[in-house]
């Protein structure tokens, strides 16, 4: 049975940068046990004054675009600049078994061995939004542990991937050139949320295709609504094998962060995100309490069977669960 520490032991370990305690605290927040959740909530409240000082960067892109390779190169570059980097790598979970691959430490071998980096692979579970249910809490724990930059790698690109925008300061959308009709292959909504478009694999014979794609995307951005931040979204070629490419991406990221701090968008965005997090937790709590209700549990199985057999519509069954017919 997993040993649970005291609140003071968790707090002391996290604030001192103890990675073992940090990992144990993250596991605690991921637990569905009521006593674990109660302790996790107290811990999160205790660390709150020590959070908010890290740069939060979301990274998304379709499978095969090279997210993990980019994060490894980017993370190693940042640590070479004396930054401490935490990577929250969200792995897709099976809706049938609930299992996940959790292979990011294998895909980021050099970064995983980097003493200034910390990689936490987390199963996405059944949560939409491309991020795991407790990703927000993990982010705060990593900030309290002293990490300067938090990189959040999402599952991929899709309609539900935009939740990562709601917990980060900066959002990278990685794109692949020469993989068909690029402009049709990426959803308009996620492009409108991106602060940077990065065209990956700008190497060798692929460089001409990358440049063509870069121009096409830059042109397409003119037809989208301008970002609320007032920032002009750049489309940048990206090669993990060229130090100057990674350096340029970070340099422009610093310019973006300076820009939104000066115009007040940074703090306003953080405030909106805090409110969004609160409402997300309310929804999670309401769902958990609903299904934990003994009356619901007694009635649910019978109604599910009726829905399976087609004797009542799903909407009717749901309404009955919320009505006095329980």
> Which residue segments constitute the domains of the chain, with CATH numbers given?
1-49 (1.20.5.170), 51-262 (3.40.50.300), 277-322 (no CATH)
d(CA 33, CA 47): 21
Supply the pTM of this predicted model: 0.88
In this structure, the dihedral spanned by the alpha carbons of residues 199, 204, 206 and 212, taken in order and rounded to 10 degrees, is: 70
Task: Decide: helix, strand or coil at residue 291.
Answer: helix
Report which secondary-structure segment, H or E, holds 20. Answer: helix 19-30
List all residues 6 or more positions away from 34 whose beta carbon is below 8 Å from its beta carbon.
Answer: none
d(CA 109, CA 107): 6
pLDDT tens, the chain, 326 aa long:
567 899 999 999 999 999 999 999 999 988 878 899 899 999 999 999 999 999 999 998 888 899 999 999 999 999 999 999 999 987 654 334 343 444 455 678 899 999 999 999 876 554 444 465 678 899 999 999 999 999 998 876 554 466 788 899 999 999 988 654 445 445 667 788 899 999 999 999 999 999 999 999 998 898 888 899 999 999 999 999 999 999 999 999 999 999 999 999 999 999 999 998 898 888 888 888 898 888 898 899 999 999 999 999 999 999 999 885 44
**Number of neighbours of residue 241 by Cβ within 10 angstroms:** 12
């Amino acid at each position: 049975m997993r040993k649970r520490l005291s609140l003071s032991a968790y707090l002391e370990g996290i604030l001192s940068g103890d990675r073992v305690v940090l990992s144990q605290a993250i596991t605690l927040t991921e637990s569905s046990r009521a006593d674990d959740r109660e302790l996790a909530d107290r811990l999160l409240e205790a660390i709150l004054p020590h959070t908010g000082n890290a740069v939060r960067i979301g990274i998304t892109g379709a499978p095969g675009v090279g997210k993990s390779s980019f994060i490894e190169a980017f993370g190693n570059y940042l640590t070479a600049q004396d930054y401490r980097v935490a990577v929250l790598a969200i792995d897709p979970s099976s809706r049938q078994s609930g299992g996940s691959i959790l292979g990011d430490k294998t895909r980021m071998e050099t970064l995983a061995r980097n003493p200034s980096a910390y990689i936490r692979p987390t199963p996405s579970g059944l949560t939409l939004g491309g991020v795991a249910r407790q990703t927000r809490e993990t982010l705060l724990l990593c900030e309290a542990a002293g990490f300067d930059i938090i990189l959040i790698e999402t599952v991929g690109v899709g309609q539900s991937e935009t939740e990562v925008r709601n917990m980060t300061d900066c959002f990278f959308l990685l794109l692949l050139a020469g993989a068909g009709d690029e402009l049709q292959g990426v959803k308009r909504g996620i492009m409108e949320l991106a602060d940077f478009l990065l065209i990956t694999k700008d190497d060798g014979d692929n460089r001409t295709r990358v440049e063509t794609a870069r121009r096409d995307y830059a042109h397409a951005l003119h037809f989208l609504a301008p970002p609320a931040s007032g920032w002009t979204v750049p489309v940048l070629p990206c090669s993990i094998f060229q130090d100057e490419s990674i350096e340029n991406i970070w340099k422009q990221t610093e310019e973006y962060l300076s820009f939104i701090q000066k115009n007040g968008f940074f703090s306003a965005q953080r405030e909106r995100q805090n409110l969004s997090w609160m409402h997300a937790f309310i929804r999670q709590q309401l769902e958990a309490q609903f299904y934990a209700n003994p009356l619901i549990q007694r009635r649910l199985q019978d109604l599910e069977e009726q829905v399976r057999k087609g004797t009542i519509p799903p909407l009717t069954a749901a309404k009955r669960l919320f009505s006095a017919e329980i």
